[in-house]
Structures are given as structure tokens and as C-alpha cells.
Amino acid sequence: MKTISPVFTNAPKLVITAIDCHVLLAPDFDPGMTSSAQDSFIVEIHTDGGISGIGESDANPWILKACIEAPGTHTMGLAIKDILIGQNPMEIGEIWEKLYVGTAMNGRRGMVIHAMGAIEMALWDLCGKATGQPVHSLLGGATRDRIIPYASLQPAGHCFEEYRDALVESALNAQSLGFRAIKSEVTMNGPYAHGGMNETYDRHTEVVASVRKAVGPEMTLMIDVQYLWPDAATCQSIVCDWAEFDICFLETPIWSDNIHELAALAESAPMPIAVGEWLATRFEFQELMDTAKIGVAQPDIGRVGGIGEAKIVCDMAKERGMKIVPHCWKTGVSTAATAHLAFVTDHCQFIEYLPPQLCVERLRRELTHDELVLKDGTIPLPTKPGLGVEIDWDVLKKYKVA
């Protein structure tokens, strides 16, 4: 099985001694919201050399913790924690395969893979810290000196006018912060409907038009409708009129298991279709790429199974002439991992970036001290070892619930 391991010489000899799992939750979280940034799952991997690494994943944090800590009962349902203890953390690819095979009867997709994503991310951070190198160096070396983040805008409001105006205001704020690209959610209906709204599809067009008008023609604009439409024909009947808004890509217009409808839409829509935020492993992406033939693949590093698995997905996209724009709606830990991947992936057009200044999520704003800075609408190459992100442990303790 193909796996990705760090590139280095003279790595110190280390042994994994302990795993700590942290379930974090904002005390004022609103279960009626669809923002997964209200919680987080942070994993720490410790070694006998005193060096540790941190990782994160974006799925229910209690379940992720159980995926790692639950005892194994047979050889194809081993405990992730037990597999890890005693391993050499530098052998990331080998460890990933051991976890994948050893948890086969519990995993192969879904939550176990999402948990493995946090573990694998922490191993890269650990290896970087142990060798004094940033993760992008361990991935073979950066191929560019800056990447472009797009500001992911968070909606607000309780009715159409408030919702539209909040997105326009947020788009203008992102523009004044220097962002060259923004993505607006436009979801007032369907499974992700903001605040239980139930607006017509025409009103979605109105919001897209308002945001485009506000930011002007130079700003790159993506639209995320979060599984709004039941099928390709319904979607096409609306978005056929969106060509004038110059949409860089349309994200998740249809449920992502609805592969054949996605394929029909990818052929007819006037803009590229982007999908992939929920997917686990290269195997799920293969179907999305080869059957649905989408234009933009959006692996989320934690959910897909880690940095190496995301890299494999990036390589698959390249072979097929598709773009990569990773999903990331989490704290600075995942944002850093996403940036390192982008620095070694030339066909990664943008990375998703939740600007701490614009989002309401405390964990995004408070949990980490990020190395990444926005300069001229771009992020310059990070140079610190590992992911280059520091957890504020007081904040972690404050929001830790399990």
C-alpha cells in the first residue's frame, strides 16, 4: 500500500510512550448551528525523548477519542493507542498502514480514519520538532514561497435581509484585511440551512449577486451552498444564471454520495464543482474523481486520514488535471497542517482559511498562536519546526470537557 513518510537523514531515535486526547467545546456552543468549529479534538503524542506532537480532526470529538482509546478485542480490531505505543514516530507511513490494517473491522472509512488523521498529523509535527524542520521540508520541500488563503465567511442573522447583509459586511471586512479570495456560504435552505431558514432558490441568487457587487470584479469569489439541491437538474436550473457572477467554484451543490448526479452537474454547470470535505481516504476520492469528474477536490486533512493521505489525494488530482482546495474549518492546528500541504502542492489554488478576526468561534481565535501571517493577501513560507503552531495550554484546559 502506498504511504507517505518524512524525508530526512539522521533522525533521532525515539519511541512513542503516551497519547493524550482532548475533547474541547466552547461553553456557549449552539447545537442549532452547523459550525463544527464550536468543538475540537486535539491529540498529543509523547515520546521517550521528551518531544511531543499535536494533531486535530474535525468530527465529533468524543467519538474520535473513543476511536483512539477503545480497547481492542481481536487482531483486526486493535486499539489505536496500543498500536502506537512503542513505535518509532519517524516511520509515519508504516504506522499509518499498521493503524489502517489493525483497525480494519472498525474502520477503513469514517470516524476511525478521521481519528487516524489527527494521529498522523501529530506524527508530522513531532518529526518536525525532533529534526528541527518544518513539515513542508519533511514532505519533500516547498515548491513555492507563498500560498493564497481564501477567507471563509461565516453567516449571521435570522432572516433573509440580515443574512444577506451580514455576508456582504463580512466580505467587505475580508477585503479590507487584504484577502484576494473569499468564499461565501449561501445556504438558506437544505440540510445546512442557516438558523432554520427556508428561502427560495432565487433568493440564494440574490445573495450571490449582492456579495459579488459589494467586493467588485477583482476579488476571487467561491460559493458554498452546502448540499442545497436534490439533483443536478434543479441545481442547473438556478446556477445556469450565475456565470455573470464569475464564480471560481461552486462547493457541494449536491449530497456527496450522489455521485451520478454530481457527474451530470459537473458536465453542465457554468463553473467548476468542488466536493470532498467529508471524505475519508484516497478510495472515496477515487470515486469522486473518476465517476463524478469534479473540477476541484477538497480533502480535509484530519478527516481524509492525515497529511500523507491528503498528499496522495493531491497527487491523484494532479494526474487527472483537477485542482486542490483543501477544506479546513477548525483551529490553527489544522490550518497550519493545510498550509504545509499547500506549500508542496502547486495545483493547490487556495487554502480555506477561517480568519480569526472575522469568525465568532473562540477555539479558532484563542487555542493557538499561529506562525502563519497574512501578508499582501498571501501566506509566506513558515519556517518553524513541525507544524509551527503553539497550543495555548491554559485555553485548552479552559475548554476541555473530556
Binding status of residue 125 toward Mg ion by CB under 5 A: no
Q: Which of 224, 284, 300, 352 binds Mg ion (CB under 5 A)?
A: 224
Q: CA-to-CA distance for 306 and 299, rounded, in angstroms?
A: 10
| Residue number, 137 or 154, with CB nearest to Mg ion | 154
For 118, 158, 302, 324, the CA distances from 305, given in Å and listed in that order, are 8, 36, 6, 16
Cell numbers 498571501: residue: 378
Query: Bridge-partner residues for 378, per DSSP?
Result: 375
| Residue number, 244 or 257, with CB nearest to Mg ion | 257
- Phi then psi for residue 342, to 5 deg, are -65, -30
| Residue number, 272 or 382, with CB nearest to Mg ion | 272
* Residue 239 burial class via C-beta count within 10 angstroms: exposed 0-12, middle 13-18, buried 19 and up: buried
Q: How far is the CB of 220 from Mg ion (least distance, A)?
A: 16
Choices 66-74, 79-87, 216-224, 281-289; region in contact with Mg ion by CB under 5 A: 216-224
Query: Bridge-partner residues for 386, per DSSP?
Result: 134
For 13, 219, 368, the CA distances from 308, given in Å and listed in that order, are 21, 32, 23
| Residue number, 56 or 224, with CB nearest to Mg ion | 224
Q: How far is the CB of 58 from Mg ion (least distance, A)?
A: 11
Q: How far is the CB of 298 from Mg ion (least distance, A)?
A: 8
Question: Which DSSP string do the residues of 49-112 spell out, in sequence order?
Answer: TS-EEEEEE-S-HHHHHHHHHSPP-BTTB--HHHHHTT--TT-HHHHHHHHHHHTTTT-SSHHH
Query: Residues 172-211 vs Mg ion: string with x where CB under 5 A?
Result: ----------------------------------------
Choices 217-225, 281-289, 306-314, 362-370; region in contact with Mg ion by CB under 5 A: 217-225
Q: How far is the CB of 245 from Mg ion (least distance, A)?
A: 18
- Residue nearest Mg ion, Cβ-based: 224
| Residue number, 199 or 224, with CB nearest to Mg ion | 224
Q: How far is the CB of 327 from Mg ion (least distance, A)?
A: 6
Q: Residue 35: left if φ>0, alpha if ψ -120 to 50, beta else—which one?
A: beta
Q: How far is the CB of 252 from Mg ion (least distance, A)?
A: 5
- Note the residues at the interface with Mg ion (CB under 5 A): 224
